[in-house]
Chains A and B, each alone.
Chain A
């Protein structure tokens, strides 16, 4: 599956749920490629912006879309990676900067 197909497939599924891809297509492509890299590495699409343990059970809260996407998009208009955003975020001038990490440290098996 090439990146454009992957983009289109995910775009449809997620827009229907109210999650939009970042207006910056280059950034989205970078992150989609990273998801495919992680799928290759771990067997599942671990979040590109978090350190995966490489164990599906331990990483299940950060398999994209992560458990934190919903509260993060609600609070900040963007997920942790800035991959999925709200419609309002995309129409705003908000910079693509980091948001605080919502994942509890105790969930990290390191």
Chain B
């Protein structure tokens, strides 16, 4: 399986975010994740700006792959294709 840099912006309370993380976990994909609702102050502002840059509707999950592909929401097929998963 090809190596990708994967960043998941999620909410700890969001079911779609949970689905996305479960798919990545089950597929053995390495990823970083920030639960934005658990951030505060300057970190929150910095992270929100990152999310908005990738996804102006500021919705979750926002998945950024290799800094050039953005998947908005839990879309299983799109995630599988972008990460070349079986």
- Name A residues whose Cβ lies closer than 8 Å to a Cβ of B: 27, 30-31, 34, 37-38, 48-52, 81-83, 95-101, 103, 105, 108, 110
B15 touches A30 (CB 8 A): yes
Contact residues in A for B74 (Cβ distance below 8 Å): 96-98
From A96, A100, A103, give the contact of B19 (CB < 8 A): A96
A98 touches B37 (CB 8 A): no
* Minimum distance in angstroms from B23 CB to a CB of chain A: 11
* Minimum distance in angstroms from A51 CB to a CB of chain B: 6
Contact residues in B for A98 (Cβ distance below 8 Å): 16, 59, 61, 72-75
Taken together as a complex, chains A and B put the C-alpha atoms of A52 and B14 apart, in Å, by 12
Contact residues in A for B17 (Cβ distance below 8 Å): 49
For the complex, is B76 an interface residue (Cβ under 8 Å from A)?
Answer: yes
B15 touches A97 (CB 8 A): no
Contact residues in B for A83 (Cβ distance below 8 Å): 15
Taken together as a complex, chains A and B put the C-alpha atoms of A105 and B59 apart, in Å, by 9
For the complex, is B8 an interface residue (Cβ under 8 Å from A)?
Answer: no
Taken together as a complex, chains A and B put the C-alpha atoms of A38 and B48 apart, in Å, by 19
Taken together as a complex, chains A and B put the C-alpha atoms of A81 and B19 apart, in Å, by 12
Taken together as a complex, chains A and B put the C-alpha atoms of A95 and B58 apart, in Å, by 23
Q: Which residue of B lies closest to A52 (CB)?
A: B37
Q: Which residue of B lies closest to A28 (CB)?
A: B15
B14 touches A97 (CB 8 A): no
Q: Which residue of A lies closest to B55 (CB)?
A: A101
Given contacts A95-B76, A97-B76, A110 and B16 within 8 Å (CB-CB): no
Q: Hey, what's the 0/1 contact readout for B1-35 against A, CB within 8 Å counting as 1?
A: 00000000001011111110000000000000000
